[in-house]
């Protein structure tokens, strides 16, 4: 299994993502700078990590989407490659149009940094095997996490089983229909606001985030 973790100027969860890939999944892991115009040969999974790319100038993710590496990420995703966007990575995928919708400032106007509960949905995505119906606990840490899309798009996302996670109980940011994570049409691109990479070992307070990484790994190994 080959994982590429992209670092944008202002990414700050890239180390954590690479740690999960390398130390916990045992994947051959390459750090990719956003100015690289290509991904390493044989890449199976691309992770766009959390952080504040370009200082969130203009809108979260708005400038990162034009980084040279995003052309390669787009064609990788179009070929069916697995892409995981966490927090700012999710915002970048939205701005790039690889996932539908947009992010707005939290309804509370506050930066929210706490553990939340999420419900996994039955989607048929490689990231979600074994997670359907489960309630998972993971941290969120964001100021722009209020997912927004038109009612039409929201209806379609649920119909097409592309809502991967919804907030369970309290919705920390006012996201439309409690949406915490969405999938692309082919279900190979997942974006979510919570941080699974920060919930992968008991010492971090929980292991609920590990499931989607292991699901992706077993999907790739079974191919």
Partner 1 sequence: MRARVIVTLRRGVLDPAGQAVGNSLRHLGFGEVGDVRLGKVIDLELGSISRAEAEKKVNEMGQKLLANPVIEDFSLELTDEGGTRTT
**Which parts of this chain interact with partner 1 (CB under 8 A)?**
58-59, 62, 66, 94-95, 101-102, 104-109, 146, 148-150, 174
The H-or-E segment that residue 120 falls in is strand 112-120
Report the nearest approach of partner 1 to the CB of residue 102 (Å). Answer: 4
13 catalytic? Reply is no
- Closer to partner 1 by Cβ: residue 24 or 102: 102
Q: Closer CB to partner 1, residue 174 or residue 206?
A: 174
Of 144, 140, 130, the closest CA to residue 56 belongs to: 144
Residue 47: CB atoms within 10 A of its CB come to: 27
Q: How far is the CB of 91 from partner 1 (least distance, A)?
A: 11
Q: How far is the CB of 186 from partner 1 (least distance, A)?
A: 21
Active site annotation includes 34: no
Could you write out the DSSP letters of every residue in 85-135?
EETHHHHHHHHTTSSSSEEE--TT-S-EEEEEEEEE-----TT-TTTTT-E
Contact 188, 219 (CB under 8 A): no
Nearer to partner 1, 100 or 206 (CB): 100
Tell me how far apart the alpha carbons of residues 65 and 57 are, in angstroms, rounded to a whole number. Answer: 12
**How far is 34 from 70, CA to CA, in rounded Å?**
8
For the bound state, the minimum distance from the C-beta of residue 59 to partner 1, rounded and expressed in Å, comes to 6
Catalytic residue among 87, 121, 142, 143: 87
* Residues annotated as part of the active site: 87, 195
């Amino acid at each position: 299994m080959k994982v590429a973790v992209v670092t944008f100027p202002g990414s700050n969860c890239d180390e954590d993502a690479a740690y999960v890939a390398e130390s916990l999944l045992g994947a051959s892991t390459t750090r990719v700078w956003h100015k690289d115009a290509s991904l390493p040969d044989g890449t199976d999974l691309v992770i766009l990590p959390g952080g504040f790319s370009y200082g969130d100038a203009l809108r979260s993710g708005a400038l990162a989407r034009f980084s040279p590496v995003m052309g390669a990420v787009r064609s990788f995703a179009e070929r069916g490659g697995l892409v995981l966007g966490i927090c700012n990575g999710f915002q970048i995928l939205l701005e790039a149009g690889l996932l539908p919708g947009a992010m707005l400032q939290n309804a509370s106007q506050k930066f929210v940094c706490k553990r939340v509960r999420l419900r996994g949905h039955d989607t048929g995505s490689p990231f979600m095997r074994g997670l359907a119906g489960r309630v998972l606990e993971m941290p969120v840490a964001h100021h722009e996490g209020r997912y927004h899309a038109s009612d039409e798009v929201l209806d379609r996302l649920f119909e097409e089983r592309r809502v991967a996670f919804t907030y369970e109980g309290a919705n920390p940011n006012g996201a439309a229909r409690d949406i915490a994570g969405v999938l692309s049409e082919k279900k190979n691109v997942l974006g979510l606001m919570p941080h699974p990479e920060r919930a992968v070992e008991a010492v971090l307070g929980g292991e609920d985030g590990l499931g989607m990484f292991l699901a992706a790994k077993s999907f790739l190994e079974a191919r």
